[in-house]
Copies of this chain bind each other. A is one copy, B any other.
Amino acid sequence: MIRDAQDSVCQALEAVDKVGKFKEDVWSRPGGGGGISRVLQDGAVFEKAGVNVSVVYGVMPPEAYRAARAKSTPVFVFYLLCSQVLHPKNPFAPTVHFNYRYFETPRQWWFGGGTDLTPAYIFEDDVKHFHSVQKKACDKFDPTFYPRFKQWCDDYFYIKHRGERRGLGGIFFDDLNDYDQEMLLAFATECANSVIPAYVPIVERRKDMPFNDQHKAWQQLRRGRYVEFNLVYDRGTTFGLKTGGRIESILVSLPLSARWEYDHKPEEGSEEWKLLDACINPKEWL
């Protein structure tokens, strides 16, 4: 079933890109399990797009277990993961990320994941569309989900040392096991299925907009922040680095290129400043 989802996501993205094709790597993990990584690099629309599925089982090292914030002694673990990061070339087309996972140990199980939007420039209609699709997916299951998981997303993607968020949020939850298991599986599946309808209309609108070197440099700076969050704070990445996971699959979320300028400060009131302001002070988009 998750293989089908991977197929349909990749087909939808290739249809947007028209030029780039996904290359597939099938890998297995010595401790148990394996995955399928599909990556499209240097396409017409996407600089780098990664769509992964993996299944891992085996004994979890204590460090990794702590990174996954589990409450009991490490034993046998099983998890299922699908994730995707899309970094488009055009600085007006936003990056999108999703990641849904199911964990199981002999004593407990939980769901986690989310979908979030990271533009370099704000187009309010785009952000509203994205959040409204996330809300619709949530509302099918529980009206408290969207406000709760929207807040959780704003809290999670926080780059503490910068005092700003990676992007404009979406939904995020983790360690979720206080609902019916079937219901949560259906919910996570609904969320994963709503990534394409939330994102493709946006990238279609923005992919051919004219831009200049300043726009591109600002996008690259924001990608630098993306790298900072993923390497320093992201639970999935730090968990992967600690468990000795397949490094290329873990770090496929990093952008093709990124930039760090010393003490860069956008001019107050500029388009760049507006994005930064929304990353510092999260907004209600709906």
Contacts and interface: CB of A to CB of B under 8 A. Distances in A.
Contacts of A48: 260, 262
Interface size class of A (residues with CB under 8 A): 20 to 34
A254 interface: yes
Q: Tell me whether chain A's interface is mostly helix, strand or loop, or mixed.
A: mixed
Contacts of A224: 254
A45 interface: no
B259 A257 contact: yes
Nearest to A163: B247
A64 interface: no
27 contacts: A25-B263, A37-B262, A39-B263, A41-B261, A48-B262, A50-B262, A160-B241, A161-B244, A161-B247, A161-B250, A162-B247, A220-B257, A224-B254, A227-B258, A228-B231, A228-B251, A231-B232, A232-B232, A232-B241, A248-B262, A248-B263, A251-B260, A254-B260, A256-B259, A256-B260, A257-B258, A258-B260
**Number of copies of this chain that the complex holds:** 2
Interface of A: 25, 37, 39, 41, 48, 50, 160-162, 220, 224, 227-228, 231-232, 241, 244, 247-248, 250-252, 254-263
Nearest to A259: B257
A218 to B, nearest CB: 13
A256 B37 CA distance: 29
Nearest to A230: B231
Contacts of A227: 227, 231, 258
Contacts of A241: 160-161, 232
A254 B162 CA distance: 15
A256 B247 contact: no
B262 A39 contact: yes
Contacts of A228: 231, 251
Nearest to A217: B257
